[in-house]
Structure 1
Amino acid sequence: MIQRAGLWAGLGLFMTMRLVDAPAGLSPEGWAVAAVAVLMALWWFTEAVPLTMTALLPFLLLPLLGPAAPARSPAPIIRRSCFWCSGAIVAIAIEKAGLHRRVALAVAARGGTSPRRLVLAFMAATAIVSMIVSNTATALIMTPVALALIRARGQDDGFAPALLLGVAYAASIGGLGTLVGSPTNGIAAAMIDRTLDIRIDFVTWSKFGLPMVFLGVPAAAWLLNRALRVPHAAFDRQAVLAAIGTPGAWSPLEKRVAPLVVALILGWTVLPLIKDRIGLSALDDGMTAIAAALLLFILPGGNGRPILEWPDARGVPWDVIMMFGGGLALADAITASGLALWIGQQLSGLGTIPIWALALLLTALVILVTEFASNVATASGFLPVVAGVATATGLDPLALAMPAALAASWGFMMPAGTGPNAIAYATGQVRVGQMVRAGFLIDLLGIPLIVAVCFAVAP
């Protein structure tokens, strides 16, 4: 029903905007881009048409409508796409080797026997894995382990929903930690680069993302334990260890993948600091990720074959790669046609509001929208507008753009809101009311937390 309404509402508004004159101060080209943006926003937010197909609309409609905005070099889009695609290939190798499960079990096994501490330990383990592996895959890894522990405990109280929701929420929060932790991060960083000409590399994103993880996971665990009344009483440690299990001896594949992952992380974090000194100033995150992904298809995996073969790459979310192009093409048109500047001028009165208050309002709005729309669609739709507001008001663009980028992944109330939420709900151990109550509190927590982190980190 929502999809059909969004389909016809989008088409109706698009046609109406094409039939009426542009508002004062906005060029016909900008008005044409606005019509396409409204159509895409409604179709994205209601999922009336698959997200990837909606992302292709700029390539179909903008040339037909004739906006005068010249297409800029596609090199930044290609570079970002290669970076994220290569990062996804490395994540596939981690999953194939089982390294993610080893890390998760090692952390969870050290969580003690207090139900509340176990919730925190599982959330910490999930968040660590989710910084490299996709949010949904991380939730799929950790949920069976959590269910085994719930069965071993055998009590009907708030521990079961808190543990499962903790895994789901920590998968999303952990994904904020690094640029490769979630597809939304990559799209948001590319949007900021494209609309504000501010380069967000792996290290820059981590300066914002890692504090969000380190502060967000313990705070979310505390709220979950309180909201769902998780008991304090401890239970048998042997039962805990038996339920969690052990990862066993290191496999040959793990021994080959682990050093490569460590080298990649060092390349992302250390090379930017020393590359000028060693004569590699042209080296960037994408090149490092491509080199690591290439080695995975060359180095032996200990079974007579390379670590990865091309069929393994089917797990790369190619649809998200396509959304990069469509979203950035729309952002280009919004900026180059003057639409972003016009929107900013209409909202220029916001420049009189303290920037921290504006950031709080913007963060709250993005969190509200992302509860009902996909994270990727929310980031793609909001960030060009944020760029226009920052440009017209003269406010610090990064202090507005980064809260919006992080808030696009901070939605915890709805079972269908994210993949991890859906996985937790599908277990049958979590009621909708419990998810809404706990998720609402964590959404509220996110508004000041995101703004505080961004303002503390932003120059």
Structure 2
Amino acid sequence: MQQEVSEKEKDSQQPDDQKFDMGESAGESFGIIKWAGFIGGLALFLLMLFSSTPQGLSLAGWRTAAVAVLMATWWVAEVIPISGTALLPLVLFPVFGVADIETTAAPYADPMIYLFLGGFIIAIAMQRWDLHRRIALNIIGFIGTKPRNIIAGFIISSAFMSMWVSNTAATMMMLPIALSVIQLAKNADESGAVQPEYRNFALTLMLAIAYAANVGGLGTVIGTPTNALMIAFVNDAYAMEITFAQWMSVGIPLVLVGLPVIFYVLTNWVFPMRLQRLPGGKAYIEEEVNRLGKISRPEIMVAAVFVLTAMLWMSRPLLVQLIPGLSDAGIAIFGALLLFLIPVNLRKGIFLMRWRDVEELPWGVLILFGGGLTLAGAIQRTGLAEWVGGYFEVLGGWPVILSILVISMVIIMFTELASNSATAAAFLPVIGSVAIGIGQNPLLFAVPVTMVASCAFMLPVATPPNAIVYGSGVMTIPEMSKAGLALNLCFVILITLMTYFVFSAILGIRIGHVPALILP
């Protein structure tokens, strides 16, 4: 046991490509797009700031709009790291009288941020002891090692891991395994040339990992920041609470339907799968499992904490009657603290988690989350959302399902060029006001907007998983765009239909009815 712990301790430092990140490149040059974004955003900000306030909007609302335009422009162009842009309200809102510093800073400590913090720490513990890798390899081995089965196994593994850890980390974990499998496929071709069937297998496998990681994150509140951002927004703006279990009752059905769509579109439509056999595939997966060795005691303990935390999240609606004040965020921090308290080797002072492991935590995501909530709160509080929403009253004459479809299409195309969290932060307060303005529950538009923001599949810049698999060199941008466009259309239609017919029933949304609780 001591040897096992020692080996794990030696390997516990994650390599750079396994660390959480925001999909940002610290050494990226300040090119023409960033210069255009920097100058253009600043010019628009100053122009709005010193122009007259539009009729029907308060001065604070117009200044909020100026800050929102600046932030949106810098987010899209990534002038500075997107988490850095998220800090702008702390400087600009108090200076321009939008809100005092206490009001501005409060959302940066929103309970949802602590839900994510706890979730990230649990995810890092899974990575430290290689539990995530064991789960993924066993899923792939269980499903089978025929080419189509391998793709299905990677889809399920990527999606499941992305429900509980960062989709970036889930993709990073699956990438080296997938590249090794692709090499087996190339070796299987005796002619030495890359045949179409092998090419299609490689393309499908890599894209399946990225797309499944994106969609899998929709299954839980902690799967992607956009989920928690929306839940925090509707709670703050409309006093509408969505629990961890309630979101899973919405997210899991979409994941269960969406993953087969990804599999079918990639293997039968975009890149038809004709490869029937992969020599050595089974042996490779078995070899990787054997390299992990017998499941260790630390892995078992981390798995126990993970399961306990998940069970508490799902049963909180019942437990809160016995433990008033119990929250999803409190449960997440409880699970994280257990990891620091449970010893692996007490004599050597080795515990399941060390603080230096947590130093790799994606703090930028938490800052972005707080900045998004601060911006959304100001847009709502100053009347800007209601003012902008007035220009969308035309949607009131459309069929509701068509309104959802059009809004979802706009959001998914916008997200191809900007962070999904930034997109959600900018659009949610406006979309909420549009819904109320045409006599609908804000959740009817907020839920699909949140979901399609994570379903941008066309471009590498759309999501970190897209960028990671594109960086492997296996595919070109046209190939990714070809598959991504097909899936964008599929998921816009799928999310629209599920929102109208399924999610509305699960969340108690009545079409054509605004809850009395949020009426002025």
Q: TM-score range by the shorter chain?
A: over 0.9
> Secondary structure of the residue that 1:301 maps to in structure 2?
strand
Counterpart AA for 1:427:
S
1:218 aligns with 2:218: no
Aligned 8 A contact 1:131 1:181 in 2: yes
**1:75 Cα deviation (Å)?**
7.4
Q: Tell me the equivalent position of 1:457.
A: 503
> Secondary structure of the residue that 1:20 maps to in structure 2?
coil
Q: Tell me the equivalent position of 1:374.
A: 419
**1:48 Cα deviation (Å)?**
1.5
Counterpart AA for 1:108:
I
In structure 1, distance between residues paired with 2:459 and 2:391: 33
Q: Deviations over 1:202-260 (max 9, x none)?
A: 11221221112111111111111121122152334x53332463143111210211111
> Secondary structure of the residue that 1:176 maps to in structure 2?
helix
**1:153 Cα deviation (Å)?**
2.4
Counterpart selection for 1:334 from 379, 382, 385:
379
1:261 aligns with 2:303: no
Q: Deviations over 1:386-429 (max 9, x none)?
A: 11212222212111000001111111111232221122122222
Return closer, same or farther for 1:453/1:281 CA change in 2, 3 Å cut-off: farther
Counterpart AA for 1:135:
N
Aligned 8 A contact 2:316 2:328 in 1: no
1:56 aligns with 2:87: yes
In structure 2, distance between residues paired with 1:231 and 1:7: 48
Counterpart AA for 1:457:
F
- Map 1:374-413 onto structure 2 (within 5 A): 374-413=419-458
5+ residue gaps, structure 2, are 1-31, 509-520
1:95 aligns with 2:141: no
Aligned 8 A contact 2:107 2:370 in 1: no
Q: Tell me the equivalent position of 1:27.
A: 58
Q: Tell me the equivalent position of 2:476.
A: 431
Aligned 8 A contact 2:396 2:438 in 1: yes
Counterpart AA for 2:334:
A
Q: Tell me the equivalent position of 1:186.
A: 228
Please, what TM-score do these two structures have when normalized by structure 1? 0.95
In structure 1, distance between residues paired with 2:99 and 2:163: 41
Q: Tell me the equivalent position of 2:284.
A: 242
Aligned 8 A contact 1:82 1:290 in 2: yes
Return closer, same or farther for 1:137/1:72 CA change in 2, 3 Å cut-off: closer
Q: What value does the CA root-mean-square deviation take over the aligned residues?
A: 1.9
**1:30 Cα deviation (Å)?**
1.1
The answer to which of 280-289 and 114-123 deviates more is 114-123
> Secondary structure of the residue that 1:37 maps to in structure 2?
helix
Counterpart AA for 1:181:
G
- Map 1:154-165 onto structure 2 (within 5 A): 154=186, 155=189, 156=194, 157=198, 158-165=200-207
In structure 2, distance between residues paired with 1:68 and 1:325: 15
1:290 aligns with 2:333: yes
Identity of aligned residues (%): 38
In structure 1, distance between residues paired with 2:275 and 2:245: 39
- Map 1:116-195 onto structure 2 (within 5 A): 116-154=148-186, 155=189, 156=194, 157=198, 158-195=200-237
Q: Deviations over 1:115-160 (max 9, x none)?
A: 2232122101111111111111111111111112122222432101
> Secondary structure of the residue that 2:359 maps to in structure 1?
helix
**1:76 Cα deviation (Å)?**
9.1
Q: Tell me the equivalent position of 1:230.
A: 273
Aligned 8 A contact 2:83 2:365 in 1: yes
> Secondary structure of the residue that 2:56 maps to in structure 1?
coil
In structure 2, distance between residues paired with 1:417 and 1:319: 18
**1:74 Cα deviation (Å)?**
3.2
In structure 1, distance between residues paired with 2:238 and 2:70: 24
Aligned 8 A contact 2:411 2:423 in 1: yes
Please, what TM-score do these two structures have when normalized by structure 2? 0.84
In structure 1, distance between residues paired with 2:281 and 2:447: 44
Q: Deviations over 1:66-111 (max 9, x none)?
A: 2368938937943111111111101111111211111111111123
Count how many residue pairs are aligned between Structure 1 and Structure 2.
456
1:67 aligns with 2:102: no
Aligned 8 A contact 2:204 2:266 in 1: yes
5+ residue gaps, structure 1, are none
Counterpart selection for 2:343 from 300, 314, 327:
300
1:81 aligns with 2:113: yes
In structure 2, distance between residues paired with 1:166 and 1:188: 26
Aligned 8 A contact 2:94 2:104 in 1: no
In structure 2, distance between residues paired with 1:241 and 1:419: 31
